[in-house]
Amino acid sequence: MKVNLFNAAGDKVKEIDLPEAIFGITPNTHEMHRAFVRQMANWRAGTHSTLTRSEVRGGGRKPWKQKGTGRARAGSTRSPLWRGGGVIFGPKPRSYVKGLPRKIRRLALRSALATRKDAVRVMESWVLEAPKTRVVAGLLNKIGATGKVLLIVEGRNDLLERSARNLPDVRLILSDNLNVKDILEADVIVPTEGALKKITEVFAA
């Protein structure tokens, strides 16, 4: 499949072929789902915590005597049955990290890219003289990148990062940080030529 290659001014230079080993495969939706669930789970902090009755401050004295009051027996005001008491089986800090074999993760990424092959626009490189949000927005509009845009670069580009971060629908990532969620959520994917080569080297094997 051929896609347009644009220069730093936003002009079409030529058409290039997308690697068939990545963009030409039949997407495996099951593995894409597994990778997506893993990614969302691994982002969870797992810092939620509630207090059991032994951890709530106070409640050491028996509220009233055992017999003769006509009320139910009570040994502590921090019982889970009381307001202000502990929590029964409440959440405690834990890890939500899920594992997934590397081959499956790579298959999921290839599948995600294959489903979005029609949304790919390739840039030769991003050459900016200064961090200008207006310039980046104009270039994206010129190459037809509207809606949610995913920019993929092969290395850190401070000027591009500072220019794009004020655009709410634009996300910039390194090719090393390619992930299923960003690929599937983007309306248009704009990798640089260098990033595309790097992705091909890693995932086409």
pLDDT tens digits along 66-118: 999 999 999 999 999 999 999 999 999 999 999 999 999 999 999 999 999 88
Instruction: Give domain limits for the chain.
Output: 2-24+114-203
pLDDT tens digits along 51-64: 999 999 999 999 99
83 vs 22: CA distance, rounded Å: 58
The pLDDT of 119-147, averaged and rounded, is 90
Where residue 205 falls among pLDDT bands split at 50, 70, 90? low
Where residue 13 falls among pLDDT bands split at 50, 70, 90? confident
- For the chain, give the percent of residues with pLDDT over 70: 100
Where residue 125 falls among pLDDT bands split at 50, 70, 90? confident
Half-sphere exposure of 134 (CA within 13 A, CB side): 0
Question: What's the one-letter identity of residue 63?
Answer: P
Cβ–Cβ < 8 Å for 174, 197: no
> At a CB cut-off of 8 Å and minimum separation 6, what does 32 contact?
108, 111, 112, 115, 180, 184
Tokens of 52: 């059991």
CATH code of the region 2-24+114-203? 3.40.1370.10
